[in-house]
Structure 1
Amino acid sequence: MKISDTTRRQVENLLDFIDASPSPWHAVATCEEHLQAAGFSRLDETERWSLQAGDQRYVVRGGSAIIAFIVGRQPLTEAGLRLIGAHTDSPGLRIKPRPAEEAGGVVRLGVEVYGGPILATFADRDLSLAGRVNIRTADGFATRLTRFADPLLRLPNLAIHMNREVNENGLKFNKQTELPLLLGITEDGEKAEMRFRRPIADALGVDPADLLTWELNAYDTQKGTLWGANREFIADSQLDNLASCHAALSALLAAGQPGATCLCAFFDHEEVGSESAAGAGGSFVSDVIARLAGNAGLDAEDQRRMLARSFFISADMAHGWHPNFPAAYEPCHHALVNAGPVIKSNANQRYSTNAETAARFMALCDKAGVPCQQYAHRTDLGCGSTIGPIVAARLGIPSVDVGSPMWAMHSIRESAGVLDHGYMIAALSAAFAD
């Protein structure tokens, strides 16, 4: 298997991107850094926008969703929009508003399960905290990103001597009583809440009493890596779906001065249904598109002409065929790792793909010189969904659902193919050049 130096660099950049983004808020901040380095400037939703051809801009909503775009040279009514969507959130464990309790001299942190993680994979990992914290200020409050690089938390397994059937029945946790994360030992009569607050306050340089609220998740401190006989595979957390964010962002940054207006929309809360102001079910992308149209002087009729000429790619990771579990897959729909982007279809519209949009994406892959594959879920298994149907329905534009194949989706340590990431960047770049 030949892997080019370019693809190697792209994947190394992906691992750095993920490792810098242990929460949705960090993921948006990382995107901002990449965009600003490439000359993009930030817009504010509270201000009037003034846009012209060639402008490279982005806007953030709620700290965890971001839309970046390049205003194309061609009129919106003639070229339409080229949109790629992905999501910044991943399944996992979120810290509760008042999480700390003491048990046998040990401080535990209560958690909520966010989305559908494989809970067993969180056991015996080097976990820490990342997210955002609101602190008291003279003017009210300020929001700060925080991240602990060193392991701060752990979910130790129960010894096999007390769980003799774990290898036969699988590792299971009671979500209320057995998932709290161990933080440390209480010292000198310090209350559990203060034991939790103090490290955060020290990291932010404030008094513990000035911590008002937080949105924090447990993340795996182990950095991403390449593995395999030829280092042809990736292992990292949050490949679903930061790998798609990185691929789309890479394509946008390489777009130059496109003819059509090109837009990347990275939403939060996909893993829990997308119904939020920062989610795909909210108004974020339609608000940005309306402002693009307004700056171009389009009336209601021309806006509909613009949307009719647009195309949306929902980029979210796909299920790669697992050689150890062949019975889990639909015959004739084996999406192989390192064999190209996957077009995902579902007759019940869990994915937004139809025959026409699938053919259009196949043409883009041909243009980019990369292979592509097709995937459908087993009929007797429930199929996951994406932002694709949500955005397509709200905007009324043709849409396709695609993704790079991966293993262990929703594990704290997922795997994918090195070649596939390069293939996806090439295919999405072709979409912006279309």
Structure 2
Amino acid sequence: MPGSAADESAEARFAAHIDDLISFVRASPTSYHAAAELSRRLDRAGFHQLDETLPWAAVEGRHYVLRDGAVIAWQTPASISEKTAFRIVGSHTDSPSFKLKPHATTTNYGWQQVGMEVYGGGLLNSWLDRDLGLAGRLVTRDGEVHLVRTGAILRISQLAPHLDRSVNEDLRLDRQRHLMPILSVSRPDLDVEDLLCEEAGIDRADLGFHDILAFPTESPAVIGPRQEFLASSRLDNLSSVHSSIAAMVGVDPADDIAVMACFDHEEVGSATRSGACGPLLEDLLVRLAEGLGRVGAGYRAMIARSSCISSDAGHGVHPNYVDKFDPTNHPLLNQGPLLKVNANQRYVTDGVGGALWMRACQAAGVPTQAFVSNNSVPCGSTIGPLTATRLGMLTVDVGTPLMSMHSTRELAGVADLSYLSSALGAYWAGA
């Protein structure tokens, strides 16, 4: 009943998870920073980083590899048998943003502006009138990588309604003309790449190239009359990444190998060396199996026994736009993570995968709910179909329900985030 010791314990668990997620988001303005933060947490939990460019002497125990903005970690059970399989949780570290162009700083009518390219399918109007920073990596000519982040130095300002009376009825943003951030005024000597190099402590003459993205500097916040919501940027998909790492560092695999795969570039199609379309995960699984003496047909049999949970954010029903949702399935925030279903395999959940997810939720003691699209509204997709196609293993799509997905200020339910981590932990533990 309300106010019971069990309720108080759950609320304390939710609050601890949210506090840690907020710290994770603050540390992860880009995929590169998220990968660095994952590495830090894995090191602290006793995982050992392996170098992809070298042979691996041993793969048993707790290990991980880092590639650009992607991280794959695993831990093996106490003993390996002929029935051992992989249990994989996949997510992605990137979010929609704006990426810095080469030679980005320009002066227009006395204003210094920064040329940026739209990255992914963001809710563009949510970037207007936000305090924005720049973050990412600078690579010097010798190949050394320097992570960098600034404070709030940019803003994409809207045109006042006095100058465009139609703006509230017909907002149209030209990606080139209307989305160039302001950097400064009357400072033609100012260059954004100089600022970044100064922030990173490197000589501008040594800069080779960069991968720099904009991020909203506003901190995540717990809101609501009962503190039931989390408002934050990058919940798609740091909510899944964080739930994965929180589960991974605390799990004790029973019979199978627990694998956490956090890919980059999902928002732009995943077709990169650190994305889910690339060979990163497959190559790692091959090397891991070889290290355990499973090669050729033995490896193929291992893959056939394996499974993957593709964990990506989903949609909670919006009360102002109910016609955009399925008439029957109305997932709500704080009612449990989603089982994502699509007949055309934009999500790859099937009967076997759905049952696997139900077992994990039951073992964890958490609720779950279904998301399926309105037939008249096109469905998004995830890394699930990519992983299932590339590896040929059982895959199921799940995720945390959000409001305002791809906004700079998404909204999640505080309970769902902890629920997801518990279900992923139960899956890795053998449910």
Fold conserved between structures, TM > 0.5: yes
| Cα displacement string for residues 314-338 of structure 1 (whole angstroms, at most 9, x for unaligned residues) | 0001101112221110111111110
**Correspondence 1:37 to 2:44:** yes
How far does residue 410 in structure 1 lie from its aligned partner after superposition?
0.3
User: Which residue of structure 2 lines up, in the alignment, with residue 23 of structure 1?
Assistant: 30
User: Which residue of structure 1 lines up, in the alignment, with residue 130 of structure 2?
Assistant: 125
Contact persistence 1:8–1:418 (CA under 8 A): yes
| Cα displacement string for residues 224-280 of structure 1 (whole angstroms, at most 9, x for unaligned residues) | 010000010001100000010000111111113543110000001111111111000
User: Which residue of structure 1 lines up, in the alignment, with residue 384 of structure 2?
Assistant: 388
User: Which residue of structure 2 lines up, in the alignment, with residue 260 of structure 1?
Assistant: 256
Counterpart Cα distance in 1 of 2:72 and 2:82: 21
Contact persistence 1:26–1:145 (CA under 8 A): yes
User: Which residue of structure 1 lines up, in the alignment, with residue 113 of structure 2?
Assistant: 108
Counterpart Cα distance in 2 of 1:395 and 1:383: 23
Instruction: Give the counterpart of 1:230 among 219, 226, 229.
Output: 226
Q: Which runs of 4+ in 1 moved over 6 A?
A: none
**Correspondence 1:374 to 2:375:** no
Counterpart Cα distance in 1 of 2:383 and 2:280: 13
Q: Secondary structure at the match of 1:108?
A: strand
Q: Secondary structure at the match of 1:166?
A: coil
How far does residue 52 in structure 1 lie from its aligned partner after superposition?
5.0
Counterpart Cα distance in 2 of 1:253 and 1:141: 32
| Cα displacement string for residues 123-162 of structure 1 (whole angstroms, at most 9, x for unaligned residues) | 00010100001124xxx242100001x2100001100101
How far does residue 39 in structure 1 lie from its aligned partner after superposition?
0.8
How far does residue 77 in structure 1 lie from its aligned partner after superposition?
3.6
User: Which residue of structure 2 lines up, in the alignment, with residue 185 of structure 1?
Assistant: 185
Please tell me the residue identity of whatever aligns with 1:144: H
**Correspondence 1:92 to 2:97:** yes
Distance 1:273-1:52 versus aligned 2 partners, 3 A rule: closer
How far does residue 305 in structure 1 lie from its aligned partner after superposition?
1.5
Counterpart Cα distance in 1 of 2:203 and 2:242: 37
Q: Secondary structure at the match of 1:164?
A: coil
Counterpart Cα distance in 1 of 2:298 and 2:225: 55
- Once structures 1 and 2 are overlaid, which stretch shifts more, 112-121 or 70-79? 70-79
Counterpart Cα distance in 2 of 1:76 and 1:393: 26
Counterpart Cα distance in 1 of 2:64 and 2:46: 11
Segments of 5+ residues of structure 1 without an aligned counterpart are: none
| Cα displacement string for residues 189-246 of structure 1 (whole angstroms, at most 9, x for unaligned residues) | 52xxx52222112212233333221111110001101000001000110000001000
TM-score by length of 1: 0.95
Counterpart Cα distance in 2 of 1:18 and 1:348: 33
**What fraction of aligned residue pairs are identical, expressed as a percent?**
39
| Cα displacement string for residues 67-98 of structure 1 (whole angstroms, at most 9, x for unaligned residues) | 00002224264021110000011011111122
How far does residue 299 in structure 1 lie from its aligned partner after superposition?
2.5
Counterpart Cα distance in 1 of 2:202 and 2:59: 43
Please tell me the residue identity of whatever aligns with 1:24: S
How far does residue 352 in structure 1 lie from its aligned partner after superposition?
1.1
User: Which residue of structure 1 lines up, in the alignment, with residue 175 of structure 2?
Assistant: 175
How far does residue 375 in structure 1 lie from its aligned partner after superposition?
0.9
Counterpart Cα distance in 2 of 1:144 and 1:25: 10
- Once structures 1 and 2 are overlaid, which stretch shifts more, 365-374 or 160-169? 160-169
| Cα displacement string for residues 370-428 of structure 1 (whole angstroms, at most 9, x for unaligned residues) | 11111111111111000001101111111100001010000011000000011101100
Any residues of structure 2 matched to 1:63-74 within 5 Å, and which? 63-74=68-79
Counterpart Cα distance in 2 of 1:402 and 1:326: 21
Counterpart Cα distance in 2 of 1:166 and 1:99: 28
Please tell me the residue identity of whatever aligns with 2:39: E
**Correspondence 1:305 to 2:301:** yes
Counterpart Cα distance in 2 of 1:163 and 1:378: 35
Contact persistence 2:265–2:271 (CA under 8 A): yes
Distance 1:76-1:343 versus aligned 2 partners, 3 A rule: farther
Counterpart Cα distance in 2 of 1:226 and 1:368: 25
Q: Secondary structure at the match of 1:175?
A: coil
User: Which residue of structure 1 lines up, in the alignment, with residue 65 of structure 2?
Assistant: 59
User: Which residue of structure 2 lines up, in the alignment, with residue 341 of structure 1?
Assistant: 337
Any residues of structure 2 matched to 1:173-322 within 5 Å, and which? 173-187=173-187, 190=189, 194-322=190-318
User: Which residue of structure 1 lines up, in the alignment, with residue 149 of structure 2?
Assistant: 147
Please tell me the residue identity of whatever aligns with 1:87: H
User: Which residue of structure 1 lines up, in the alignment, with residue 161 of structure 2?
Assistant: 160
Instruction: Give the counterpart of 1:47 among 54, 69, 74.
Output: 54
